[in-house]
Amino acid sequence: MDENKALTPFRIDIPQADVDDLRGRLARARRPVPVPGRDDRADFSRGIPPVYLKELAEYWRDGFDWREQEARLNEYDQFTTVVDGQRFHVVHVRSTNPRATPLLLNHGWPGSFVEYQRLIPLLADEFHVVVPSPPGFGFSTPLSGTGWELARTTEAYAEIMTRLGYARFGAHGTDIGSGTAGRLAALYPERVIGTHIGSDPRLLGFLGEKFPYPEGLSEEETALVEAVRAEDAADRGYLFMQEHRPDTIGAALTDSPVGQLAWIAEKFRPRNGGAHRTPDETVDRDQLLTNISLYWFTRSGESSAQFYYESAHSGIDLAMASDVPSGWAVFDARPVMRRAVDPWKAIGHWSEFTEGGHFPAMEATELLAGDIRAFFRDIS
């Protein structure tokens, strides 16, 4: 039997009982006994500071208005469609410009389509914007089964663009989304007009593993790379857990909103040592909590972790070579980034910004929008 290819209109409407349950769980949260000396709300050396987590959880319970944020998300057209047996949730904002370029925005973990909420209006005059949620993320749940990894997801995204009538399109991605964007270009060069990647110094942590360690670096450059690698290695606890024991951590994330809050909010802490010292001083607090609420209400803390397990055990490389034009925007840029990542200067469009970080659509929205627009104008 042929698969139903319908695009079914979708509107977010979380039951009030679920909203009340969240507030009740936050009110009854069982907290750890504080360790003496752990009273600095910006000290993330051992994970998210308990004093900061308590402050954020109390605001989530008493100050955050889910219904207001839900209404804002519903300002964008959305639909669901089934591909290869899996339900996908997609935000689709058509431009009023008849010559607009279709643009697929790819996100990773612990992001969601909420990540692009403030970017979309800055692109809509030049692009038809499409934001799919990967399988197991947000409303692309529940999972239809095992086996949903990077390659299978990429094929599903191509099919979604076909169903929307977009024969040719551009792609932007960060985190896991940089993998799906790059793979689309490698597999469908006749369809993808260009890929734009948002990156930050965390990429240096994969040198010598997923990417070759660069040759000819100076002592100063090597020291900078190793400092980032050391910081990244200390931050990989979540990665190993989700790649190897998603069911174990998933049980805690699904039952405890404070646990889900800690698991995600920590990843938004700033890395550049600038004036902003906590996650909600780096990104908007309500947008951060909207993203986390989405994980909570859809129980996708567990199912999104499965994506890491599947990808880690698939044997598929994150990166694939392609002749499609590519552009990179590096945020919180360090002097060694291009020499380390692109020593041959094969990437045609390369931009570096001191602002922003791993979530540029939330941290440096206007800079990212401007760079996406500039890249696609250059290759059109």
Q: Which CATH number is 201's domain given?
A: 3.40.50.1820
Instruction: Flag whether pLDDT at 315 surpasses 90.
Output: no
Is residue 3 in some structural domain?
Answer: no
Strand runs (DSSP E) across the chain, as ranges?
Answer: 8-9, 78-83, 86-93, 101-106, 127-132, 169-173, 192-199, 326-331, 349-353
Domain membership of residue 1 (yes or no) is no
Is 2 within a domain?
no
Confidence of residue 145 (pLDDT cuts 50, 70, 90): very high
Residue 272 scores a pLDDT above 70:
no
- Position 275 pLDDT exceeds 50: no
Q: Is residue 312 part of a domain?
A: yes
The whole domain housing 326 covers: 8-30+38-379
Q: What is the pTM of this model?
A: 0.95
Tell me the sheet residues that pair with 9: 79
Q: What angle do CA 234, 239, 245 make, to 5 degrees?
A: 125
Asked whether residue 18 is assigned to any structural domain, the reply reads yes
Which residues does the annotation mark as catalytic?
175, 308, 358
Mean pLDDT of the region 271-289: 80
Cα–Cα dist 337/216, whole Å: 14
Average of per-residue pLDDT across 111-118: 98
Contacts of 339 (CB under 8 A, 6+ apart): 214, 217, 221
Please check whether residue 142 lies inside any domain of the structure: yes
Mean pLDDT of 205-222: 82
Domain count, the chain: 1
Q: Do the domain assignments include residue 145? A: yes
Whether 244 is covered by a domain: the verdict is yes
In the numeric block, which tokens belong to residue 85? 């047996």
